[in-house]
């Protein structure tokens, strides 16, 4: 039986020396990591610095430096955006003088709140609810039984704490209005949307980890046959999560972190930490099986640790670097959110790597006696996976063709993939802020942002109006309005049926930008912003893919010494990612499995998902490729033929790879149970990529 790791000389590598250092001082390593983990959790979620990571998160559509953003800058310079708080009132009779009088009294109290700059309400109009100027504030323009909105503008000079105090006092005063009028009220604002999304992200994170950690522990109890061995990768994962959250907290002071970044990056860190821990513990038990005594001596434990870190540690390093290279590809994109995910992702991968080659081996040393009772028998060269390898080797062309047919079939839905950048649609159906803005769009359309806005660099309103009138006949255009924007610009708002993510809105943006005007124009709005974001991503994608492919190729070449093997691995993984995206399109765009997965389809895939899947999915797929190739190379260097090396490599790693894939699927599935749509899509995509 060919065995590349019998008892004998220990490899004299730096990793082996690190393993020896860990074996000689295991308690010091564990204590150091405990201190680090506690400190990280205290900083990131304990609020010891005065605020937590979740309090520093932001939310919004992904943006890039583009025509749409430049138009927004012009608008902001001419008319600074005020923080607002809006109250929707329903179930009141505005034709009843007593009801109106009660509302007027309470609304005047709102205007008197410190920090309030102004109040727009039909109750405060000169002629009351019948005043024509406040018709947009009335549901369907009705002055009878129905509803209305009140919009509060805050003083832009308020700092953070003063703003929070003003909002809190204003909320209480506003909610007294419908109460006095015998109706019901609902509050909404951009700040409340951010709070809702970050709160949901935090709950999803706790729920995902609450589902994933116990289930992965049970699976590892089955895999290892004991609680001690099963607990070691879990401990490593918890420590890695703490380090990852602390890294994100640090990054939040340098860049604005979107709320979804936390779950996406933590998702990766948790999965990788468990996988690396599984690999390390499995190899330690395998090495421990070569001991000469029933109870392993200190020398035998040290030798097993040195071999484990020299072999499994090397695999972890190559695997982690592969994933890090894939995530580094996100740095090629212009969007700050993609770069933030890339930097944060690389940092948490590095944490997972260091934990796997220091903390987990230290835990193995401390639990060596317990592990030796359950240590595996000397591994057999024959088994299910070796027979599978022989079967594939007898019919390689047939197997390759069958696999490619299945993957290409799964990838076919990507041909019809549509992308969108959701706002409140990210929240689950029925969420308070999602309902608020859905009601606002339905009952008070004049108060919602127009689908398309054009900033015209002209002081001649008549000339701009004449040009804008040319779009009234465009498909789906419901209204065109022109208003001054400072002394040198005009603002043109175009409302389009179907909303900002509709094909009509997208087509209108293209038509406006392609038109010829006697003045400079800049087009913005959600539709334009989405087009600019996707154009930027598409333009930078070749650079990102090139960086990832080249870096991975070089890394695999250094590991295997082969040119053909890296090429085959890269091609197969790219096809697998296409299949994963096809599954996402079939489920989330076409609306299958809505009830089972608990979401409502928006008819498209979130615009960031395909690019994130290419980075995360590629890294994770290559992760298992590295697990297998590293063992194949190990056998080949000990004299086995190519076919024999493949058979032995698959036999020795097949169980580990299968277990690791199952564990990471459980981790991702735990996050699919969350409520944020983009996290669900990422979870499903990565489950498909790994499976």
Give the CATH number, domain containing residue 495.
Answer: 3.30.70
Selection from 345, 362, 385 nearest residue 627 by Cα: 385
Q: Are residue 396 and residue 306 in the same domain, yes or no?
A: yes
Helix (H) or strand (E) holding 87: strand 84-93
Is 382 inside a domain boundary?
Answer: yes
Residue that terminates a domain, selected from 487, 505, 530: 530
654 pLDDT band, cuts 50/70/90, is: confident
Question: 553 and 514, same structural domain?
Answer: no
Provide the pLDDT for residue 383: 61
Strand, helix or coil for residue 119: strand
Cβ within 8 Å of residue 607, ≥6 positions away: 62, 419, 420, 421, 530, 533, 534, 537
Please say whether the beta carbons of 453 and 494 come within 8 A: yes
Cβ-based neighbours of 48, under 8 Å, separated by 6 or more: 42
What is the rounded distance in angstroms from the CA atom of residue 411 to the CA atom of residue 322? 24
The pLDDT, as a whole number, for residue 676 is: 87
Structural domains counted in the chain: 3
Q: Are residues 109 and 143 in the same domain?
A: yes
Q: What confidence score (pLDDT) does residue 365 get?
A: 95
pLDDT > 80? residue 245: yes
Same domain? For 331 and 232 the reply is yes
Q: In what order do the strands lie in the sheet with 116-120?
A: 116-120, 145-154, 84-93, 184-188
pLDDT at 659 over 90: no
Q: Among 130-144, 439-453, 458-472, where is mean pLDDT lowest?
A: 130-144
Give me the pLDDT at residue 531, please.
92
Would you say residue 552 has pLDDT above 80?
Answer: yes
User: For the residues 622-651, what does the mean pLDDT come to?
Assistant: 77
Taking the C-alpha atoms of residue 460 and residue 466, their distance in angstroms, rounded to an integer, is 10
Q: Provide the pLDDT for residue 532.
A: 93
| Owning domain of residue 289 | 14-59+194-421+533-690
- DSSP SS3 for 483: strand
Residues 237, 377 within the same domain: yes
Q: Are residues 512 and 661 in the same domain?
A: no
When pLDDT is averaged across residues 629-657 and rounded to a whole number, the result is: 77
Residue 420 has pLDDT above 80, yes or no: yes
pLDDT band at 6 (very low <50, low <70, confident <90, very high): very low
Asked if the structure places residue 6 within a domain, the reply is: no
More confident residue, 387 or 10: 387
Q: 295 lies in a domain?
A: yes
- Per cent of the chain over pLDDT 90 is 44
Residue 281 placed within a domain: yes
Whether 4 is covered by a domain: the verdict is: no
Question: Are 554 and 565 in a shared domain?
Answer: yes
Tell which wins on pLDDT, 597 or 501.
Answer: 597
* 90 shares a domain with 50: no
549 and 650 fall within a common domain: yes
Given pLDDT bands bounded at 50, 70 and 90, which one contains residue 144?
A: very low
What is the rounded average pLDDT of the residues 436-463? 92
Q: Could you say which of 530, 554, 588 is where a domain stops?
A: 530
pLDDT for 145 equals: 55
pLDDT bracket for residue 380 (50, 70, 90): low
Statement: residue 38 has pLDDT above 70: yes
Tell me if 64 is assigned to some domain: no
Cross-strand pairs, 489: 485
* Model confidence at 122: pLDDT above 50: yes
How far from the centroid of its chain's Cα atoms is residue 374's Cα?
Answer: 39
Q: Which residue has the higher pLDDT, 558 or 178?
A: 178
| pTM for the full predicted model | 0.82
Q: How far apart are CA 691 and CA 370, in angstroms?
A: 33
Residue 72 lies in a domain: no
Provide the residue count of the chain.
Answer: 691
Q: What is the pLDDT of residue 477?
A: 94
Burial (CB count <10 Å: 0-12, 13-18, 19+), residue 12: exposed
pLDDT for 340 beyond 60: yes
Same domain, 226 and 183: no
Q: Please, what's the b/e burial string for 572-601 (b: 16 or more CB within 10 A of its CB; e: otherwise)? A: bbbbbbbbbbbbbbbbbbeeeeeeeeebeb
User: What CATH code is carried by the domain that includes residue 157?
Assistant: 3.30.70.260
Phi/psi at 259 (nearest 5 deg)?
A: -60, -35
Q: State pLDDT tens for residues 593-633.
A: 998 898 888 899 999 999 998 888 888 877 777 777 777 78
Which has more confidence, 384 or 624? 624
Rounded to the nearest integer, the mean pLDDT of the chain is 87
Is 249 part of any domain? yes
Q: Who's near 486: CB < 8 A, 6+ residues apart?
A: 77, 78, 79
- Last-in-domain residue among 164, 188, 212: 188
What is the domain-level CATH number for residue 25? 1.20.1640.10
Q: Answer with the residue of higher pLDDT: 383 or 173.
A: 173
What is the spatial order of strands in the sheet that 452-456 belongs to? Answer: 477-485, 489-496, 452-456, 521-524
Mean pLDDT of 329-346: 88
28 and 99, same domain (yes or no): no
How high is the pLDDT of residue 416?
94
What digits encode the pLDDT tens for the residues 465-482? 999 999 999 999 999 999
Model confidence at 55: pLDDT above 80: yes
For residues 410 and 294, state if they share a domain.
yes
- What is the arithmetic mean of pLDDT over 88-105? 93
């Amino acid at each position: 039986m060919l065995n590349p790791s019998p008892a004998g000389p220990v490899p004299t590598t730096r990793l082996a020396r690190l393993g020896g250092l860990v074996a000689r001082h295991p308690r010091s390593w564990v204590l150091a990591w405990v201190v680090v983990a506690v400190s990280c959790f205290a900083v990131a979620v304990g609020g010891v610095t005065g605020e937590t990571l979740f309090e520093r998160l932001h939310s919004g559509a992904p943006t890039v430096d583009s025509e749409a953003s430049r138009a927004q800058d012009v608008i902001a310079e001419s008319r600074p955006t005020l923080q607002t708080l809006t109250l929707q009132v329903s179930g009141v009779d505005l034709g009843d003088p007593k009801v109106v009088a009660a509302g007027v009294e309470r609304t005047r109290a709102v205007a008197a709140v410190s920090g309030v700059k102004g109040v727009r309400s039909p109750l405060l109009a000169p002629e009351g609810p019948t005043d024509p100027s406040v018709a947009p504030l009335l549901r369907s323009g009705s002055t009878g039984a129905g509803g209305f909105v009140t919009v509060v503008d805050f003083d832009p000079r308020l700092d953070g704490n003063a703003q929070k105090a003003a909002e809190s006092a204003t909320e209480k005063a506003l909610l007294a209005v419908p109460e006095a009028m015998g109706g019901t009220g609902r509050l909404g604002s951009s700040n409340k949307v951010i709070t809702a999304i970050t709160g949901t992200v935090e709950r999803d994170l706790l729920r995902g980890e609450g589902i994933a950690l116990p289930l992965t522990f049970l699976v590892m109890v089955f895999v290892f046959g004991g609680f001690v061995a099963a607990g070691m990768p879990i401990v490593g994962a918890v420590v890695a999560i703490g380090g990852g959250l602390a890294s994100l907290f640090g990054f939040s002071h340098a860049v604005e972190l979107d709320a979804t970044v936390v779950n996406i990056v933590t998702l990766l860190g948790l999965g990788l930490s468990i996988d690396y821990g599984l690999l390390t513990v499995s190899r330690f038990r395998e090495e421990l099986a070569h001991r000469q005594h029933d109870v392993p001596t200190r020398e035998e434990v040290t030798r097993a640790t040195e071999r484990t870190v020299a072999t499994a540690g090397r695999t972890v390093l190559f695997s982690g670097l592969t994933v890090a290279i894939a995530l580094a590809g996100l740095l090629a994109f212009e969007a700050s959110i993609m770069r933030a995910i890339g930097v944060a992702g690389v940092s948490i991968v590095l944490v997972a790597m260091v934990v796997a080659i220091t903390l987990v081996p230290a835990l193995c040393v401390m639990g060596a006696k317990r592990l030796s009772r359950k240590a595996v028998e000397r591994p057999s060269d024959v088994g299910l996976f070796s027979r599978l390898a022989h079967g594939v080797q007898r019919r390689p062309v047939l197997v390759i063709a069958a696999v490619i047919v299945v993957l290409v079939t799964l990838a076919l839905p990507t041909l019809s993939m549509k992308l969108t950048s959701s706002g409140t649609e990210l929240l689950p159906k029925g969420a308070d802020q999602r309902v608020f803005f859905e009601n606002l769009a339905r009952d008070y359309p004049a108060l919602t942002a127009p689908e398309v806005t054009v900033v015209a660099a002209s002081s001649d309103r008549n000339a701009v109006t004449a040009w804008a009138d040319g779009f009234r006949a465009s498909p789906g255009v419901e209204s065109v309005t022109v208003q001054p924007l400072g002394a040198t610009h005009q603002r043109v708002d175009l409302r389009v049926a179907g909303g900002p993510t509709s094909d009509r809105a997208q087509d209108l943006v293209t038509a406006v930008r392609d038109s010829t005007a006697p003045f400079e124009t800049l087009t913005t709005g959600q539709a334009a912003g989405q087009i600019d974001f996707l154009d930027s991503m598409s333009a930078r994608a070749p650079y990102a893919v090139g960086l990832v492919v080249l870096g991975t190729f070089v890394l695999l070449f250094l590991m295997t010494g082969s040119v053909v093997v890296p090429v085959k691995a890269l091609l197969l993984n790219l096809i697998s990612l296409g299949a994963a995206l096809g599954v996402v399109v079939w489920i989330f765009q076409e609306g299958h499995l809505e009830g089972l997965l608990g979401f409502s389809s928006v008819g498209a895939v979130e615009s960031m998902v395909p690019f994130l899947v290419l980075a995360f999915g590629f890294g994770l797929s290559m992760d298992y490729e590295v697990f297998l190739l590293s063992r194949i190379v190990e056998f080949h260097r000990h004299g086995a033929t190519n076919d024999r090396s493949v058979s032995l490599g698959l036999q020795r790693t097949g169980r580990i790879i299968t277990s690791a894939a199952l564990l990471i699927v459980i981790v991702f599935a735990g996050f699919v149970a969350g409520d944020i749509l983009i996290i669900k899509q990422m979870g499903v995509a990565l489950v498909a990529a790994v499976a």
